[in-house]
Chains A and B, each alone.
Chain A
Amino acid sequence: GAGVSQSPRYKVAKRGQDVALRCDPISGHVSLFWYQQALGQGPEFLTYFQNEAQLDKSGLPSDRFFAERPEGSVSTLKIQRTQQEDSAVYLCASSLVEGGNSPLHFGNGTRLTVT
């Protein structure tokens, strides 16, 4: 595709519900990142995939957060038993090469609101 695509664009969940956020990276991009952006803040790193391997998940805030990229392309970020503090914009980014030292291509994000 032309860019990184994220869906849904907006998601409202009741506290306690599970949600799944999807990211379609640019075709052929090796690296895929998930970031969480709270209102008025910069993006904060959640997790990193190199192809299908999740090499770094140190930013996931709790064991309620889970990410996968089973075939090395599309990725899903799942949040179980959502809490109000999970409300944020979740950004996905991809890069042609390994690691985070090359320019990232970001999607438009999924805005999650937990009520």
Chain B
Amino acid sequence: AQSVAQPEDQVNVAEGNPLTVKCTYSVSGNPYLFWYVQYPNRGLQFLLKYITGDNLVKGSYGFEAEFNKSQTSFHLKKPSALVSDSALYFCAGYYYGGSQGNLIFGKGTKLSVKP
């Protein structure tokens, strides 16, 4: 079955430290993978996507993500966290050839960055 998993409900980091938010996907073809961020009472905002090519993808606000096919992972990273990065982060996968329009989201990881 096609699925996206975010194994951590919450990640806590100190401001200035590197952060990683984990995501894994089930193996079923070649997925397109995305990261979105959601601030309180707001819709989701696109951060970055992987379709093909370079395994390291750079996105908005200094975030990047590394696609690892052997580990079926697509972890979100940032070298130096800011307090303003505190939000809910969603990994999502779109499976080419799957149900058209069906972007599958993980359950989300709450990132808390403390000063």
Binding site for B on A (CB under 8 A): 4, 31, 33, 35, 40-45, 47-48, 50, 55-56, 58-59, 91, 93, 99-101, 103-109
Residue B83 CB within 8 A of the other chain: no
The answer to whether A99 touches B101 (Cβ under 8 A) is yes
Residues of B within 8 A of A109 (CB): 42-43
The residues of B with any CB-CB pair to A shorter than 8 Å are 32, 34, 36, 41-46, 49, 51, 90, 92, 94, 96, 99-108
Contact B103 A33 (CB under 8 A): yes
Q: A108–B42 contact, CB under 8 A?
A: yes
Contacts of A58 in B (CB 8 A): 99, 102
Pick from A4, A43, A56: contact of B90, CB under 8 Å: A43
Contacts of A106 in B (CB 8 A): 36, 43-45
Question: Which residues of chain A are near B101, meaning CB under 8 Å?
Answer: 31, 33, 45, 47-48, 50, 55-56, 99-100
Is there an interface contact between B107 and A107, defined as CB atoms closer than 8 Å?
Answer: no
A contact residues around B108 at 8 Å (CB): 40-42
- Cα–Cα, bound, A78→B94 (Å): 26
In the complex, chain B residues whose CB is within 8 Å of the CB of A101: 32, 51, 94, 96
